[in-house]
A and B are shown apart, each in its own frame.
Chain A
Amino acid sequence: MPSYHLDHLQHLETEAIHIMREVAGEFERPALLFSGGKDSICLLRLAEKAFRPSDLPTPLLNVDTGHHFPELNEFRDRRAKQLGAKLIVRTVEDAIAKGIAQPAPGEISRNQLQIPVLLAAIEEFRFDCCIGGARRDEEKARAKERFFSFRDSFGQWDPKNQRPEIWNLYNGRLNPGENMRVFPLSNWTEMDVWEYIKREKLEVPSIYFSHRRSAVRRAGQWLPVNDLIPPRPNEEVRELTVRVRTIGDIISTGLVESPAEDVDDIIAEIAAARVTERGSRADDKASEAAMEDRKKAGYF
């Protein structure tokens, strides 16, 4: 006698597949934001589950800051090829050259510069919807995000004026120039993501696992030694056994000292963790409202 019972991962999976198919049904030109990070790796598997045996109905889009970990870009390109998906990469470098993005004087971080590059790519390809891997458990501002997050013609999010989202009925109607961001992983936690990676036997970039790396102590965190902001003479540099928990740019991604060699180790580590995932991201620590401000301006 079958039990007709879904466990929590199966529930999250069917919810996400339903949302993916609503996107395919309601939008003319959707794109899927794929960075090669763990959340977007899950997103790709869910797209396969939603649309196979057909080809994926969306191209993959990535905004490359030029400060990515090389391991991440290598993985991104390889995975897109494996899936036979079309991968579109737009770079901050190129956007600066074309005058689409202007770096603030003295600012090395390109976090803010991703916004105009993404918006320009949306305009270039006339994307009406971008599927992203953001999760509500990541951060306080994201906790208020809808599955279907409406953006006006400037790409802005207005948290006080979101469309109510009731049952599983998503309102995808847009006027010209407007845009939707869709987040099928909204209800997933960091633990769910890793349990899903395990269940689906998904490959992830090597930097998620323990490896030796030179690290520099900066603002209470270990950051990878890199050429963009080389260690200053007064900064401590050490060779450590580390992994990354969340991947941002190479200048802002905190390294976690960890012996985790496989997905099981990572799951055990998260179960015992005493800080959140984004506790290792310098870009979120800037101020209490850092993420809120970036989202309002058009960030993922």
Chain B
Amino acid sequence: MFTEDALSAPPVTIPVDILRFNTCGSVDDGKSTLIGRLLYDSKSLMEDQLEALERSADITGGGQINLANLTDGLRAEREQGITIDVAYRYFATPRRKFIIADTPGHVQYTRNMVTGASLSNLSIVLVDARLGVIEQSRRHTALAALLRIPHLVVAINKMDLVGWSEARFHEIRAQFEEFLPRLAIKDVKFIPLSALNGDNVVEPSVHTPWYVGPTLLGHLESVHIASDWNLSGFRFPVQWVNRPHNPKDAALHDFRGFSGQIAGGIVRASQKVVALPAGITTTVKQIWTYDGPVPEAFCPQSVTLVLEHDIDISRGSMLIGLDDNLPGASSDLQAEICWMHPRPLQKGKKYYLKHTAQTVQVVVAEITHRLNLSTFDAEPEPAELAVNDLGQVRLRAAKPLVFDGYATNRLTGSFILIEPGTNATVAAGMLHPPREVVKPENGDYVI
């Protein structure tokens, strides 16, 4: 899309998938420049965008086009030369569509990185080749690991300023490899580049004959994004009860469906499902969609399920399949959290917790530890968690949640905390696996 060759190219083919990635690094690591370079060199920029860039270059850049101006969208950012919020960018090559979340590197903006990265397939951690690994690099890598982002790229930028030194590249790689084994990241790629000059971003660099790997874009286009979606245990959080109450149409008069997005697994018409937390077993009568009924549906499709029995289910209920992958149901929750608000988290405080399609009240029973991001050590029982702290907590909920461990299912294993009164979103949480799973074969669960 949008390449100059498009006119002569064969008819537009629809890209088969979407890769979501985010960029992180500290101030001046060149994140915005890198994104600008990706867009510029992949010919994803339009003439009016280039004109606007050139106009601002005349005014502020002394004639030099500043690629960072492409992403630093707000006036305050341009004035201060920083990125203050997550910005999303879109581009496509003939092989893939890309959604970029440009996430700022300031220490106080960790919440934005979590926001931008939570659904990413891949994270790019930028490192200034002159500085090597700094606390920010470790923090960003740890966050990507904690969020279970499947792929990591360490982009060692500003290689031109260290004379394209292969030794320096390996030195920084070794710095990363010291702590990577302690983190849950399986796929890591190191790429030496210069975002400013475009080396190894889209085009291979002549300065790095010692580097035989792909360019950044080459890697983004080809990295295997094995389905991030969990297809093994059926989970269906009910978002909305679909009752037409249509007095004119007999077929619709009694229609009662449950609408939601499948958060895990596969569902088939006429299979047995259990409604939780009620614990009632029933059968899927029909998988209703606007385009007609379907025999089966899978994560992350949005559908409406019609059930055999008229049971009391509402927003916040969860339908699950009867297989080996069962969720837990508990009001005693253990989780890793990222605290995002200037008012610290304290033991005994109450919050709203939003999980799938329900919101419940919780109280902080315990702050088990705080994670020191420089050493990756757990500091037991801190008095509080401050903004941008990561830690482990135990929460007691006003009613049981039906959940999975975050490592098993991102959608049924995650939650946010909301501060009552201000309604601010104050934390992102990742649940530990349940200590016990529900037991649907128990007589109590069947009508």
A binds B: yes
Interface pair B423/A169, CB less than 8 Å apart: no
Interface pair A272/B6, CB less than 8 Å apart: yes
- Taking the complex as formed, is B243 at the interface, i.e. its CB lies under 8 A from any CB of chain A? yes
Interface pair A166/B73, CB less than 8 Å apart: no
- Taking the complex as formed, is A124 at the interface, i.e. its CB lies under 8 A from any CB of chain B? no
User: How many angstroms between the C-alpha atoms of A165 and B87 in the bound complex?
Assistant: 12
Interface pair B47/A274, CB less than 8 Å apart: yes
The distance from the CB of B11 to the nearest CB of chain A, in whole angstroms, is 8
User: How many angstroms between the C-alpha atoms of A273 and B92 in the bound complex?
Assistant: 14
User: How many angstroms between the C-alpha atoms of A7 and B74 in the bound complex?
Assistant: 33
Residues of B within 8 A of A24 (CB): 239-240
Interface pair A50/B302, CB less than 8 Å apart: yes
Do A48 and B290 form a contact, CB below 8 Å, given A54-B243, A137-B90, A271-B1? yes
Q: Which of A15-23, A63-71, A87-95 contacts the other chain?
A: A15-23
Number of residues of chain A lying within 8 A (CB) of chain B? 64
Interface pair A25/B357, CB less than 8 Å apart: yes
Do A49 and B111 form a contact, CB below 8 Å, given A11-B18, A171-B418? no
Interface pair A271/B115, CB less than 8 Å apart: no
Per-residue A-contact encoding for B73-88, CB less than 8 Å = 1, 0 else: 1111010000011111
Interface pair A174/B46, CB less than 8 Å apart: no
Residues of A within 8 A of B359 (CB): 173
The distance from the CB of B439 to the nearest CB of chain A, in whole angstroms, is 28
Residues of B within 8 A of A13 (CB): 302
- Taking the complex as formed, is A241 at the interface, i.e. its CB lies under 8 A from any CB of chain B? no
Interface pair B261/A17, CB less than 8 Å apart: yes
Residues of A within 8 A of B447 (CB): none
Interface pair B261/A141, CB less than 8 Å apart: no
Of the listed residues A51, A55, A267, the one surrounded by the most CB atoms of chain B closer than 10 A to its CB is A51
Interface pair B418/A21, CB less than 8 Å apart: no
Q: Which of B74, B115, B239, B415 contacts A18 (CB 8 A)?
A: B239
Residue of B nearest to A163 (CB): B425
Residues of B within 8 A of A175 (CB): 423
- Taking the complex as formed, is B244 at the interface, i.e. its CB lies under 8 A from any CB of chain A? yes
Do A50 and B259 form a contact, CB below 8 Å, given A8-B15, A164-B340, A171-B425? yes
- Taking the complex as formed, is B298 at the interface, i.e. its CB lies under 8 A from any CB of chain A? yes
Interface pair B46/A275, CB less than 8 Å apart: yes
Residues of B within 8 A of A4 (CB): 227, 231, 266, 298
Q: Which of A14, A167, A173 contacts B302 (CB 8 A)?
A: A14
Q: Which of A262-278 contact B (CB under 8 A)?
A: 267-268, 271-276, 278
Interface pair B74/A141, CB less than 8 Å apart: yes
User: How many angstroms between the C-alpha atoms of A3 and B288 in the bound complex?
Assistant: 20
Residues of B within 8 A of A140 (CB): 71, 73-74, 87
The distance from the CB of A46 to the nearest CB of chain B, in whole angstroms, is 10
Residue of B nearest to A142 (CB): B73
Residues of B within 8 A of A166 (CB): 114-115, 118, 414, 416, 425, 428
- Taking the complex as formed, is B284 at the interface, i.e. its CB lies under 8 A from any CB of chain A? no
User: How many angstroms between the C-alpha atoms of A276 and B50 in the bound complex?
Assistant: 10
Per-residue B-contact encoding for A173-214, CB less than 8 Å = 1, 0 else: 111000000000011010100010000000000000000000
Number of residues of chain B lying within 8 A (CB) of chain A? 81
Interface pair B88/A186, CB less than 8 Å apart: yes
Of the listed residues A6, A7, A10, A49, the one surrounded by the most CB atoms of chain B closer than 10 A to its CB is A6
Residues of A within 8 A of B16 (CB): 5, 7-8
Residues of A within 8 A of B114 (CB): 164, 166
User: How many angstroms between the C-alpha atoms of A174 and B359 in the bound complex?
Assistant: 14
Residues of B within 8 A of A195 (CB): 14
- Taking the complex as formed, is B112 at the interface, i.e. its CB lies under 8 A from any CB of chain A? yes
Interface pair A8/B90, CB less than 8 Å apart: no
- Taking the complex as formed, is B188 at the interface, i.e. its CB lies under 8 A from any CB of chain A? no
The distance from the CB of A264 to the nearest CB of chain B, in whole angstroms, is 9
Of the listed residues A10, A171, A189, the one surrounded by the most CB atoms of chain B closer than 10 A to its CB is A171
Do A168 and B289 form a contact, CB below 8 Å, given A4-B227, A53-B252? no
User: How many angstroms between the C-alpha atoms of A278 and B296 in the bound complex?
Assistant: 41
Residues of B within 8 A of A163 (CB): 424-425
Residues of A within 8 A of B266 (CB): 4
Q: Which of A8, A136, A267 contacts B97 (CB 8 A)?
A: A8
Per-residue A-contact encoding for B245-281, CB less than 8 Å = 1, 0 else: 1100000100101011100001000000000000000
Do A187 and B99 form a contact, CB below 8 Å, given A166-B114, A166-B118? yes
Interface pair B46/A279, CB less than 8 Å apart: yes
Residue of A nearest to B112 (CB): A164
Per-residue B-contact encoding for A276-288, CB less than 8 Å = 1, 0 else: 1011000000001
Interface pair B428/A164, CB less than 8 Å apart: yes
Q: Which of A18, A167, A191 contacts B414 (CB 8 A)?
A: A167
Interface pair A143/B87, CB less than 8 Å apart: yes
The distance from the CB of A15 to the nearest CB of chain B, in whole angstroms, is 8
Residues of A within 8 A of B260 (CB): 21
Residue of A nearest to B16 (CB): A7
Q: Which of B165-187 contact A (CB under 8 A)?
A: none
- Taking the complex as formed, is A9 at the interface, i.e. its CB lies under 8 A from any CB of chain B? yes
- Taking the complex as formed, is B161 at the interface, i.e. its CB lies under 8 A from any CB of chain A? no
Residue of A nearest to B231 (CB): A4
Residues of A within 8 A of B84 (CB): 159-160
Per-residue B-contact encoding for A144-176, CB less than 8 Å = 1, 0 else: 100000000000000110111111110101110
Residues of A within 8 A of B347 (CB): none
- Taking the complex as formed, is A289 at the interface, i.e. its CB lies under 8 A from any CB of chain B? yes
The distance from the CB of A146 to the nearest CB of chain B, in whole angstroms, is 8
Residues of B within 8 A of A8 (CB): 14-18, 97
Interface pair B259/A21, CB less than 8 Å apart: yes
User: How many angstroms between the C-alpha atoms of A169 and B261 in the bound complex?
Assistant: 12
Residue of A nearest to B113 (CB): A164
User: How many angstroms between the C-alpha atoms of A292 and B85 in the bound complex?
Assistant: 14
Residue of B nearest to A267 (CB): B12
User: How many angstroms between the C-alpha atoms of A274 and B2 in the bound complex?
Assistant: 7
28 inter-chain pairs at a CB distance below 8 angstroms, sorted by A residue, are A2-B296, A4-B227, A4-B298, A11-B300, A14-B302, A17-B302, A21-B260, A49-B302, A50-B259, A51-B259, A53-B246, A54-B243, A136-B88, A136-B90, A143-B87, A159-B74, A159-B85, A160-B84, A162-B85, A163-B425, A164-B114, A166-B114, A166-B115, A168-B411, A174-B423, A191-B1, A267-B12, A275-B47
- Apart from A48-B290, A51-B259, A162-B85, list 5 A-B contacts with CB within 8 A: A6-B301, A14-B302, A186-B88, A271-B2, A279-B46
Chain A positions within 8 Å of B, measured between CB atoms, are: 2, 4-11, 13-15, 17-18, 21-22, 24-25, 48-55, 136-137, 140-141, 143-144, 159-160, 162-169, 171, 173-175, 186-187, 189, 191, 195, 267-268, 271-276, 278-279, 288-289, 292
